[in-house]
Amino acid sequence: MTSVSSQLAAVVAAHGLPGARPEPLPPFAAAAWDAFRDDVVDQRLAGLALECAADGVLTLDDAQRDELLSLHEQQLAVDLRLERFLRTAARFLEAHGVAYRALKGPVVSRVAYARPELRSFADVDILLPGKQFDDAVELLCRELDLARRFEQPRSGFDRRFGKGVCLTAADGLELDVHRTLAAGPYGATLAVDELFAAEPTRVRIGGHAVYGLPTGLAFVHACLHAVLGGGAPRLVPLRDAAALGSVGFDIDEVRSFCARSRVLAVVGLALERTSAVLAVDLPPALLAGFMGERPTRFDRWALSTYRAVGPSYAAQAAATFWVLPSMRDRLAYARALVWPDDQYLRARDRGHLRRLTRSASLGLRWRPR
């Protein structure tokens, strides 16, 4: 992504939010158009880009508009297939008495966007309670013919310690089943049981009322995704955070949840990024509630494991050990990662001894300082 096209993509992502820049941008030269088109499609912003064009912020010629419309329609077809998949999973879980919360696109598009066409997605995500996690994943795999992309290190690991598991359908669609809302140490400190205690949002998807996280917790999730998501920075989580923040919720209540979950600094950082990248006006009460929080020593250490470059996954796994609440948890966690099942080991390392030395080294390197 060039810096110019990334700035333009940020203008598109901000469109429609309070304080977004309304000045019309000049027409694209051919090369600039190619880069911009690729960026907005990659960031799943084609719907917002077309909205920008309709509102006179982007100037597109007929060929550019046609091309963008075709690409947007391809994405809309994917969104529809994914929502049908989510509805099937939701109905199935409800029928089996499994509590769940749908996350991200299908819910946020209905709660915080003018219409669902403006918020596309690449997969669907649900959150399950740890107690029901293993049984529900097994049921989903068996009854909906889904397959796990990766095995867990040991039986029970995902239910107790994992971020979640990715399930794939025969047609290639993916269902990300989460136990918590982030990988690594912040995923471990999150008060996951409280995510189910709050009254859920209900959104109608294909005639079915699907349960989602309440707006305040969906806002927290968007912030965590924006800062801790890994890989190249994405614009959609920033826009989700701004849009959900503008919908309104009980800030004191959400702030208390964040404090108990030790993610206050992460939310503050996400709002700083949202403000800087999208250049939009965030509600003053939101800024007062979450910004200006000084990162603690814990935050500086934990955040260092989420850097875009470097040993992210291994560092997060090692750091998680140090934040688990009890010695019993730490021992079970370490045992699963240091001495995993043979099937898991074969796919990753040469043997138990190599795994043991590597784990010990990582654990010491990423201990709290």
Partner 1 sequence: VSGTEPVAVQPSNRLAWAPDLLVRRSDRAVLLCTNANPEPLVLRDSAIALWDEFEAGATPATVARELAARFGVEESNTARDIEFLVAELCRAGALIEIS
Cβ 33 to partner 1, closest distance in Å? 19
Under 8 Å CB-to-CB from 220, ≥6 apart: which residues?
A: 181, 254, 257, 258, 263, 267
Contacts of residue 249, defined as CB under 8 A and 6 or more positions apart, other chains included, come to 214, 215, 216, 219
Closest CA to 241 of 200, 212, 282, 182: 282
DSSP letter for 214, please: -
3-state secondary structure of 204: strand
Comparison of 208 and 330: residue with beta carbon closer to partner 1: 208
* Closest listed residue to residue 203, CA positions, set 193, 213, 195: 213
Structural tokens at position 278: 């999208």
Least distance in angstroms from the C-beta of 105 to partner 1: 13
Least distance between partner 1 and beta carbon 116 (Å): 7
Min CB(209)–partner 1 separation in Å: 12
Count Cα neighbours of 32 within 13 Å in the Cβ-side half-sphere.
15
Q: How far apart are CA 151 and CA 217, in angstroms?
A: 29
Please tell me the distance from the alpha carbon of residue 278 to that of residue 6, in angstroms, as a whole number: 11
Type and span of the H or E element at 192:
helix 192-197
Of residues 116 and 185, the one with the C-beta less far from partner 1: 116
Interface ranges with partner 1 (CB under 8 A) = 50, 54, 69, 72-73, 76-77, 79-81, 83-84, 87, 116-117, 171, 205-208
Nearest distance in Å: CB 13, partner 1 = 19
Q: Please give the DSSP secondary-structure letter assigned to residue 199.
A: P
| 176 DSSP β-pair partners | 125, 166
Nearest-angstrom CA–CA distance, 127 and 220:
14
Nearer to partner 1, 23 or 171 (CB): 171
Q: Which among 108, 185, 176, 193 is positioned nearest to 137, based on CA atoms? A: 176
Q: How far is the CB of 281 from partner 1 (least distance, A)?
A: 29
Closer to partner 1 by Cβ: residue 109 or 189: 109
Identity of the residue, 52 or 318, whose beta carbon is nearer to partner 1 in the bound complex:
52
For the bound state, the minimum distance from the C-beta of residue 100 to partner 1, rounded and expressed in Å, comes to 19
**Burial of 256 (C-beta count, 10 Å sphere; 0-12/13-18/19+):** middle
Q: Which is nearer to partner 1, 54 or 147 (CB)?
A: 54
DSSP state of 211: E
Beta bridge partners of residue 178, listed in sequence order: 127, 164
Does residue 210 contact residue 88 with C-beta atoms inside 8 Å? no
- Which residue lies nearer to partner 1 by CB, 208 or 234? 208
Q: Toward partner 1, which CB reaches closer, 72 or 239? A: 72
- Taking the complex as a whole, the smallest distance from the CB of residue 66 to partner 1 amounts, in Å, to 9
Minimum distance from residue 118 beta carbon to partner 1 (Å) = 11
User: CB-wise, 206 or 248, nearer to partner 1?
Assistant: 206
